[in-house]
Structure formats: structure tokens, C-alpha cells
């Protein structure tokens, strides 16, 4: 049943769109505002190369991906977890499949068809979209209803609503709308916000000019990266690492990025160790390295005996003193555990996602920060690796915030 309650949703990403859907399906008048020309810009960018929606691993393993905020994310996933998300996608007419890694994708691997179907359904349900509306805070002379200010091409406009869902994203990929400009506006209203930091990001090393020019863009295939944090815990992941002009990035590094970033913040740098041949133990590597090489060069010897070539060979040359190549024990040890110092995380705007944001301690169980003001998505203080975890929590938080608005309106405005 329609009613005269009006709610604004600010942010056209997955969290905002999901909150709008929950509200519209309950008959609330929903106006969705976004600074960009179209909705879901970052969602579409994330889908390039394959739209990874969620993950099919066990609930306990899935929850563990949220690290220090697992306890706060659990109620959101209990309300709308990976299985519910897949069913919701199917309801849009999009089939899904589970890849060999456990990641869940749309059948065509694309984000655009899913987004088109969703936006069509939202419009059909009565959601009004207002694009190129950049939120600039609250009107100082607000009356009984919350007065929200927006900058538009036609100038500043003010709208009054009964409640608002803020789903403004984090601080990464500003060109797609997530610029973190909301931090100061919320802090000014007394909402506690943890500083935004890069997550799922690359790191600077400080390569020589020769190495950077020759190997930037080359992948270190099938390596293991490990590091020991300040309390003595060893973290290790196996996969591929991409060499960049300034350092390293890639899925393996993103999976470790939270710990690496925090160590750099605490001590100024962090040392990782790279096992270039995780499939061979040290004894076998030493035997291969120590095998007589005759007149062959060391590069040819390492390639034929150990499969070390290209960027892996170049990395050894970059990191090791010349005399190490004439000492089999040292060389074998380096191949199995090559030290590499990371000196800085790449800038926030380059990161896939961000950490920090509105702290859960400032929110109630429905994600309400102030009376009638709810927060959802990446602007909350949590982080997770890539693999569907980011999107799942954004969808789930939007759903919880939308339901929270309905409950609040019912309790405070006699919405039946």
C-alpha cells in the first residue's frame, strides 16, 4: 500500500540500490540520488573481467574474511547472506554458477545485464532516480523533516524527507563517485568515523630503474608470499603477484593487504618473503642449484635446472648481491624465501576498496547513526578481500538499513 512517507537514498551502488528496493517494495516513496550520471558505476567497473558476486565457501570461512569486524558483519549476513544473494540474482532472471575457486558468477560473467534488470525493476516499483545530484550535507534551517542539500547543474536544491539512507561508498576510485567527501559532514554531526585507508591495494618497493622498466606488468606466477606481523603471527598465501613500476600488486597481495598496511602504519615498512618455487623443498632446490653447470651462464643454469627465468630471475638479480649467485646455499635459500621490503601502500584512490568509515559503535543494530539517518555499504568501518565478500556485505548492509528505515518509520511515524 502506498503512503506519504518519503525516504532519500543517497548513493547508487549496491548498498543504496538494495535499500531502495526494500523500501519501495513496502510502499514507501523513494528518491535515489547520486553524483554520477548513471547508477552503479563502480559496480560495473568491478565486473570488468568477470562479475564475482559472492562466494560458495562454508559460512564460517566466509564470515572469517571480515577479520576484526566479523562479529559486526555476522548479523548482516544472517539477514541476507551468500545463498540469499544468489536467489535474489536468480529472481532478476540472471542465472549463476560456482567457479573452480568457489567464487560465484553470473552465467555470462557480466555485470551490465544484472544491473539493467535491477534498475528496471526499481523504476517499475516506483523508485525515482535523481542523477548528477551531489550531496553537500544538511540544511542548517531544517524543520521537522530532515532537509538534505544537493549541488546540481541548475544550482543547489534542498529536499525534505522523513528518513535517509547514506550509501556513499568509501574513498577509493573517486572518479566513479566514491571520494570520501562525506567524512567531514558526518563528523560535524557527531558521528564517529575511522580514517579511510586503502584496502585491497598494491604496495611500493622502490625498484631500480632497470628492473622497473624491464619487468613492470609481468606476473610472478605461482609463488607464496609470507610475512610475520608485530605479534608474531605468520601470514602466508599462494598465488600470483603482479610487478608494477613502483612495487607489487595482484590478488595474492590484496588478500594480505590489510595486515601489510597495518604493519607499515605501525613501523614504517614491512618485510615479506617470497617463495619462488613453492612446489619444491629447500633440499631439492639446493640440489638443482648446486648441480655442475659447466660453461652455461647462471641464468641458463637456473632456467634449465629450476625453471627460474624471466621476472623471477630478474627479481633475484634485483634483490641479491652478485656474490650470492656463486654460493649455492645462499642462492637456494633466497629462491625459497626472498626478502622484499614494502615501504608504503599505494594511494587510497588507487585501491580496489577502502577500510575505515562510520564505526559500528556509532550505529544501532539497524545501522542508524542519528534519528532517521542510516548508513550502509563501504562507508561503514569494515574491509574484506576480493572474492565476492565486498559485494555481499554491501548488499546485506543495504538490506538491513532499508528494513531499519521501515521499522523506524513505523515506530515513529505510525506507518502501518
Q: What is the pLDDT of residues 60-78, one digit of tens each?
A: 999 999 999 999 999 999 9
Residue 33 lies in a domain: yes
Pairing of strands 128-130, 29-33: parallel
Of 345, 379, 394, which residue sits at a domain end? 345
317 belongs to a structural domain: yes
The CATH number assigned to the domain holding 136 equals: 3.50.50.60
pLDDT given for residue 141 in this prediction: 60
Domain tally for the chain?
Answer: 2
389 sits in which H/E element: helix 389-413
Contact in structure between 132 and 154 (CB atoms under 8 Å): no
Mean pLDDT of 338-366: 96
Residue 202 and residue 142: Cα distance in Å, rounded? 44
Residues 384, 268 share a domain: no
Q: Do residue 227 and residue 182 come from a single domain?
A: no
Clarify whether residues 360 and 384 are in a common domain.
Answer: yes
* 325 lies in the same domain as 248: yes
Residue finishing a domain among 296, 323, 345: 345
The domain boundary, picked from 320, 345, 370, lies at: 345
The model's pLDDT over 23-34, given as tens digits with 9 standing for 90+, comes to: 999 999 999 999
- Expressed in angstroms, the distance from the first to the final Cα of the chain is 9
Q: How confident is residue 46, by pLDDT bands cut at 50, 70 and 90?
A: confident
- Shared-domain flag, residues 125 and 231: no
142 and 239 fall within a common domain = no
What local confidence, expressed as pLDDT, does residue 175 receive? 82
Grid cell listed for 65: 574474511
Residue 242 three-state SS:
strand
Mean pLDDT within 11-21: 97
316 and 267 both lie in a single domain:
yes
Instruction: Decide if pLDDT at 256 tops 90.
Output: yes
Which whole number is the average pLDDT over 130-155?
85
Instruction: Label residue 174 by pLDDT band (50, 70, 90).
Output: confident
Q: What is the pLDDT of residues 184-197, one digit of tens each?
A: 999 999 999 999 99
Inside any domain, residue 350: no
For 22, the domain range is 6-198+355-413
- The cell for 210 is 632497470
1 is a domain residue:
no
Tell whether the model's pLDDT for residue 12 goes beyond 50.
yes
pLDDT beyond 70 at 143:
no
Distance CA 233, CA 220 (A): 25
Q: Could you give the CA distance from residue 404 to residue 80 in angstroms, rounded to a whole number?
A: 14
pLDDT of 301 above 80: yes
> Does residue 406 fall inside a structural domain?
yes
- Both 68 and 101 in one domain: the answer is yes
Per the CB < 8 A criterion, the answer to whether 311 and 211 are in contact is no
Q: How far apart are alpha carbons 203 and 219 in whole angstroms?
A: 15
- What is the rounded distance in angstroms from the CA atom of residue 83 to the CA atom of residue 88? 9
Assess if residue 19 is contained within a domain.
yes
Torsion angles phi and psi, residue 342, rounded to 5: -95, 130
Q: How far apart are CA 302 and CA 324, in angstroms?
A: 13
pLDDT value for 230? 86
Tell me, yes or no, whether 324 and 366 share the same domain.
Answer: no
Which cell is 218 given?
609481468
In a domain, 128, yes or no: yes
CA distances (Å), 203 to each of 87, 94, 198, 276, 318, in order? 37, 37, 10, 19, 17
Q: Are residues 363 and 281 in the same domain?
A: no
Does 21 map to a domain? yes
Q: For residues 385-398, b (16+ Cβ closer than 10 Å) or e, as one string?
A: bbbbbbbbbbbbbb
d(CA 89, CA 53): 9
Residue 28 and residue 175 in one domain: yes
DSSP per position, 128-160: EEE-S-EEEEE-TT--SSEEEEEEETTEEEEEE
- The rounded mean pLDDT for the chain is 93
Read off the pLDDT of each residue in 386-391 and give the average, rounded to a whole number. Answer: 94
Confidence (pLDDT) at 146: 72
Contacts of 297 (CB under 8 A, 6+ apart): none
Q: How confident is the model at residue 145 (pLDDT cuts 50, 70, 90)?
A: low
What was the pLDDT predicted at 416? 39
**Non-local CB neighbours of 330 within 8 Å, separated by 6+ positions:** 320, 324
What DSSP designation does 347 have? P
pLDDT at 3 over 70: no
pLDDT of residue 415 exceeding 60: no
Q: Could you tell me which of 167, 53, 57 has the C-alpha nearest to residue 104? A: 53
Q: Give the residue, 64 or 47, on which the prediction is more confident.
A: 64
Q: What is the pTM of this model?
A: 0.91
Pair 338, 388 in one domain: no
CB 383, CB 353: distance < 8 Å: yes
Amino acid at each position: 500500500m502506498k503512503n506519504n512517507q518519503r525516504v532519500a537514498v543517497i548513493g547508487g551502488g549496491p548498498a543504496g540500490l538494495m535499500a531502495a528496493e526494500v523500501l519501495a517494495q513496502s510502499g514507501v516513496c523513494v528518491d535515489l540520488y547520486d553524483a554520477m550520471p548513471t547508477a552503479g558505476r563502480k559496480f560495473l567497473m568491478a565486473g570488468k573481467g568477470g562479475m564475482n558476486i559472492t562466494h560458495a565457501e562454508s559460512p564460517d570461512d566466509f564470515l572469517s574474511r571480515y577479520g576484526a569486524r566479523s562479529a559486526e558483519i555476522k548479523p548482516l549476513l544472517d539477514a541476507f547472506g551468500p545463498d540469499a544473494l544468489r536467489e535474489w540474482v536468480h529472481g532478476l532472471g540472471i542465472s549463476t554458477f560456482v567457479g573452480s575457486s568457489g567464487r560465484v558468477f553470473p552465467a555470462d560473467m557480466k555485470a551490465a545485464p544484472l544491473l539493467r534488470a535491477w534498475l528496471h525493476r526499481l523504476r517499475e516499483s516506483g523508485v525515482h532516480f535523481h542523477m548528477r545530484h551531489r550531496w553537500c550535507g544538511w540544511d542548517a534551517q531544517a524543520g521537522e523533516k530532515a532537509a538534505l542539500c544537493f549541488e546540481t547543474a541548475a544550482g543547489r536544491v534542498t529536499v525534505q524527507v522523513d528518513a535517509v539512507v547514506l550509501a556513499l561508498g568509501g574513498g577509493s576510485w573517486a572518479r566513479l563517485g566514491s571520494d570520501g567527501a562525506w567524512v567531514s559532514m558526518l563528523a560535524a554531526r557527531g558521528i564517529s568515523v575511522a580514517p579511510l585507508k586503502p584496502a585491497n591495494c598494491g604496495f611500493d618497493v622502490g625498484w631500480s630503474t632497470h628492473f622497473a622498466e624491464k619487468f613492470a606488468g609481468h606476473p610472478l606466477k605461482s609463488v607464496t608470499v609470507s610475512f610475520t606481523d608485530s605479534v608474531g603471527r605468520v601470514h602466508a598465501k599462494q598465488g600470483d603477484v603482479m610487478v608494477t613500476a613502483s612495487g607489487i600488486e595482484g590478488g595474492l597481495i590484496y588478500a594480505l593487504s590489510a595486515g601489510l598496511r597495518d604493519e607499515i602504519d605501525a613501523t614504517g615498512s614491512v618485510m615479506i618473503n617470497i617463495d619462488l618455487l613453492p612446489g619444491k623443498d629447500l633440499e631439492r632446490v639446493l640440489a638443482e642449484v648446486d648441480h655442475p653447470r659447466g660453461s652455461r651462464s647462471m641464468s641458463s643454469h637456473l632456467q634449465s635446472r629450476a625453471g627460474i627465468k624471466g621476472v623471477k630471475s630478474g627479481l633475484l638479480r634485483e634483490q641479491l648481491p652478485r656474490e650470492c649467485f656463486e654460493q649455492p646455499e645462499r642462492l637456494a635459500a633466497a629462491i625459497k624465501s626472498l626478502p622484499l621490503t614494502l615501504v608504503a601502500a599505494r594511494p587510497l584512490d588507487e585501491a580496489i576498496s577502502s577500510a575505515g568509515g562510520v564505526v559500528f559503535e556509532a550505529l544501532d543494530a539497524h545501522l542508524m547513526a542519528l534519528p532517521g539517518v542510516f548508513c550502509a555499504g563501504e562507508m561503514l568501518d569494515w574491509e574484506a578481500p576480493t572474492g565476492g565478500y565486498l559485494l555481499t556485505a554491501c548488499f546485506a548492509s543495504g538490506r538491513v538499513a532499508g528494513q531499519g528505515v521501515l521499522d523506524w518509520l513505523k515506530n515513529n511515524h505510525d506507518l502501518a
